[in-house]
Each structure stands twice: as structure tokens, then as C-alpha cells.
Amino acid sequence: MRLSKYFWKTLREISSDAEMESHKLLLKAGFIQQVTSGIFNYTPIGWKAISKIKEVIFQEMNLAGAFEVNLPVNQPIDLWEKSGRSKTFVPPLASFEDRRGNEMVIAPTHEETATFLAASYLDSYRDLPFIIYHIQTKFRDETRPRAGLLRVREFEMKDAYSFDKDEEGLDDSYRTMIKTYENIFRRCGLDVIKVEADSGPIGGKDSSEFISIASSGEDTIFSCDSCDYAANSEKAEFFKLDADKLSGNEDIKDIETPNITTIKGLSKFLNLSKDKIIKTVVYKFSKGLISVSIRGDLDINETKLRNYLNEDPKPATKKDLENHGLIEGYLSARNIKISSILDDSIDIDSSYVTGSNKENYHLKNVIPKRDLNYDEIIDVSLAQKGFNCIRCKGFLNEKRGIEVGHVFKLGTGYSEKLGAYFIDQKGNSLPSVMGCYGIGVGRLLAAVIEARHDKKGIIFPKTIAPFQIYLINLNNESQEVLDKSNYLYENLKKLNYDVLFDDRNETPGVKLNDSDLLGIPLRLLVSKRTLSEQSVEFKPRDAEQSKLISIEEIFQEVDRFYNSIDT
């Protein structure tokens, strides 16, 4: 493609809203254009990069034995009502009424239609197992779209759905997809780690995320320094070291604590370590209020609480508390008449300081088993750097990263609700056991750029670069330069190389800067200087220095570069 005729333009100035490097570079390099919040146009060069990523995905999914399908973006609401997600999906479903008065959903994901399709196909256990997949547009009305392609409202995603006859089959499909995902990310030039994750609105019993490590990432993950345990902050568990037990059977006593409403302040005032204090937070949910008590040196993981409640909790307001005789800043689970849970960090036989539900007072000698009201003891604590690994008691490291893929063991929930049953060998009708596997295509492009860039621009891997070669001719007034550049361009095309030929009447600085910005893996440059030595300047994008290669050898050198095993 001759750049002088290409639909492409760089941006010299971009919006101050662009904070992530991938967002800045995608805008500067002319890959995307923002239409509105969280919705983007892709330019020809941006779409070429997306298409290269898709090709990698298609190849690996087909090698895994998956079958490509196409499922609709617009779906009837009744499918979502059958699955039970029409009112619970977060963010809320975007919908509209068609001309026939039917309510339609703009799909944020495709579990419903995938299961609906499978239900029409399934008869016997002989029909199982199978995996279907597609790459399709989704819409999620995010409350705060940001970071360019990393947090959008409209996007393309590769979805795959596995259907098996039992849990053992699901385990096999799950392992197959994990291996396939590792291949996809490797071929796209990304190093990823697999971490345990929360299933969120998709549901299912187990799920894992693939995280590309990046200091600019929006996700926090914890990994053990001694074993292979890794999980995101929403899911991470840890070994809770026992605090020194304060035993005894003393009566509860009031402690006057004027205007002290924080754990830090109370710890300092009483000269008492935080793990000897119980912190209580009250949340509001559909059934009323719930008290959550945790050891004072820990924090509450609201995702774990959400999973316990099966809905998003909200902090109770001061008025909510007062209506139940509770005082903000002095809360405890003693003598309360609302739902109450304890974190499993609390030793119910030990003695603690808690709130008193009375202003300016706390209580000491509180033994949870004796003195507090609670319905259940569960894990609702948030992991932190330096905590002990739940598996081996090694130490947890904290890193930032970008989620590029997510896999789920869905089980039979969707199959049961949407009728994806089969007849087994004994004649029993059973729901198929499902898995779900997703990759955000635009997000993957952004993650690659976050991981592979320098101060000059993008550094694409060979596999997904929009073009393979950036050919530059300098000194356009020289007929010899023009002739040799055209000779290289035409012959590289005959050898099936995808070449972007910068034949514009621009200064050398503009052409070289644009070459670095675009990040195409290989740059070839023809000028009076190189031709004086019957050579072409050869420079990989990630190399410090260029080198001169004779015109007779340049095609073999390009072949060697592209036949090497690195990305």
C-alpha cells in the first residue's frame, strides 16, 4: 500500500482524557477515533491490526476443534428472563422495543443464545462434547468508560462455549481452552499469567483470568513467591495468621472513647494492636441491612460479600443506621436486630474491643461466641501484599495487570433454564455441563501496546502488525531513488509481504517518526546515501541500530527476519 494514497493520518495533539499509553498511541498513530464515550471508529490501519489478532484466534480455536458460529447482537428479552439475568446483569442491559412491541436486548454477552442453539441440536450423549465460538459485537453500558479500548461500551469479543456430558468432560474442555488461550497470547507477543478470578455476572463455580502484567493495568493481582498460586484481588484468599489470643471470661465493660470513630484512632488511644479490635461495617441490600464484622487489621472484600448476597451491597447511610438504633463510628454486632456475618479471621473464643452502638463508647472483653449476634462465619477479607499464601504460607506479591481473557466453568445453570438437555446411556434426561471462554479483541490490541512500546511509539510483534514492512524513500527528487524504491516495493509484494510504502513528499524526519510511531516490525530505507553503496538500510523496530544490506541480498535478509521464531 502506497502511503500517499492510504486513508490514514496521525494526530499531533490528543485529548487530555487519554491517560493510558495504549490510548494515546492508538489515537496518535491514527488507529482509532472516538465517536462518543466508550465507542470508537477503527481506521483502516487499526482494523488491519484487529484482523491480524482475529486470524490468530481463528487459527488456534480451529486447531482446538471448536466450531465457528454467529450469534445475534439483538436478542429477545425472554431468553434473558429464562436465564434469570434480565434484571441482575451488571451493568444493566441495554434494551429497546421493536416495531412489533417486543422488548429486545443489545447483548453484552452470548450465554443465552449459545445455549438456545445447543438445545436445538442436542438429543443424545453421542452429540457431546462440542465447543462453539464466534467473534461478535457486544454492548455494555459501563458507567465509567475509560482507558481507550480497555474499558469500552461497544466492543468485539471472542466467545466460546463448551458443552459436555459431565464434570470430567468440562474439565477436559477447560484445560483445552486454557492451552488454546496460552497459545493465542504467546502468538500475539504477550506474556500472561493465569489467576483465579471472580465469575461476576457470567456466573459459574470456577473461573480464571489471563493477566498481562503492566504497571498501568487496572487489575490488582496477588501471586505467591513460593508456589504457583495467583488470584486477582476480588478472589484472592490468604492464610490468616492467628493473632495472640486474649483469653478470659471477664464481663463486658464500657470504655469512654470521645470522638474516636476509626480503628487507627482507637488502636492509638487504647495502645492496642488492630488485630485485637473488631471492625464492623453495615451494608444495605434487597432484604434490608447486614452487619459485616472483621478483624481490625483487615479490610472487607466487597466482591466476596456480593457473592455471598448474590447482589451488589451498598454502604448503609447514617439515616439507615439510626432507623435501626445504630450509631455511625461505634458499630458492633452486639444486640443488633439485622442480619450479621463475621469474617473467619475473628476467633470467636477470644476477647476483643468492639463498638458499643452508643456514641463515644466502645466495649472491651467482648467474646464473639458469647456476646455478638451473627448468622454465619465466612471469608470476606481483602488480600494485601505480604500476607501469607493460602496454599503454602509463602508471601503474596502484588502486581498490576490487564485482563486479556477470562474462562469460566458454568456448570448446568444455563442448560437447565434454557433446555439444553441430552439423553444419557441409561435413558435419563440430563442438562449438559457448560464452560464459557472470552477474549476481548480490542482490549487485547491495547494490552499488546501497553506491554510493547517505547517513547517513540508502538513496537508490534510480527504476528499482529498491520503491515510487515515500512518502506521509506528519501530524496524523492532522485530518479534512481524512486526507481529502486518501486523495484523493492513491487518485488516484496510479489513475495507476499504486506508493505506500507511511504512515498509521500515529506521530510525525512516526518517519515522516520511515523515509522517509529506505527511500530511496524521492519523498516527498509532507500536514499542517495544507501544507493551510493548499492544498499538498503535495514532496521527492525526494536533494534538500536540499523545496518546496510546490499540490494542483491535484501530479499533473503527479509526472509530470514520473518522466518525467525521470535514474535
pLDDT at residue number 126: 96
Least Cα distance to 74 among 37, 39, 113, 40 occurs for 113
- Kindly tell me if the per-residue pLDDT of 202 is higher than 80: no
Q: Looking at residues 160-187, what average pLDDT do you find?
A: 96
The single-letter code of the amino acid at 105 is V
- Kindly tell me if the per-residue pLDDT of 245 is higher than 80: no
Count of C-beta atoms within a 10 Å radius of residue 60:
19
9, with CB counted inside 10 A (0-12, 13-18, 19+), is: exposed
Tens-place pLDDT, residues 518-544: 999 999 999 999 999 999 999 999 999
Three cell numbers, residue 189: 507477543
HEC secondary structure over 440-471: EHHHHHHHHHHHCEECCEECCCCCCCCCCEEE
With cell 490488582, the residue in question is 220
pLDDT at residue number 241: 75
Mean pLDDT of the chain: 93
How far is 213 from 232, CA to CA, in rounded Å?
A: 12
- Kindly tell me if the per-residue pLDDT of 205 is higher than 70: no
- Kindly tell me if the per-residue pLDDT of 312 is higher than 90: no
CA–centroid distance for 314 within its chain: 24
> Same fold for the domain at 3-237+398-450 and the one at 253-378?
no
Q: For the domain 467-563, what is the CATH code?
A: 3.40.50.800
Least Cα distance to 189 among 96, 356, 56, 363 occurs for 56
Domain map of the chain by residue range?
Answer: 3-237+398-450, 253-378, 467-563
Name every residue whose Cβ is closer than 8 Å to that of residue 352 and which is 6 or more positions away in sequence. 246, 276, 277, 278, 346, 366, 367, 368
Read off the pTM. 0.84
What letter does residue 205 receive in the DSSP assignment?
A: S
Q: Looking at residues 455-477, what average pLDDT do you find?
A: 95
Tens-place pLDDT, residues 502-522: 999 999 999 999 999 999 999
How far is 410 from 174, CA to CA, in rounded Å?
A: 10
pLDDT at residue number 247: 66
Work out the pLDDT band at 146, boundaries 50, 70, 90. confident
Q: Looking at residues 254-279, what average pLDDT do you find?
A: 94
Work out the pLDDT band at 244, boundaries 50, 70, 90. low
What letter does residue 124 receive in the DSSP assignment?
A: B
CATH class, range 3-237+398-450? alpha beta
With cell 469512654, the residue in question is 256
Q: Looking at residues 134-154, what average pLDDT do you find?
A: 93
Tens-place pLDDT, residues 387-428: 899 898 899 999 899 999 999 999 999 999 999 999 999 999
Which residues make beta-bridge pairs with 222? 231, 398
Q: Coil, strand, or helix at residue 472?
A: strand
Q: CA geometry: angle at 394 spanning 391 and 400, to 5°?
A: 95
Q: Coil, strand, or helix at residue 157?
A: strand
- Give the architecture-level CATH label for domain 253-378: Alpha-Beta Complex (3.90)
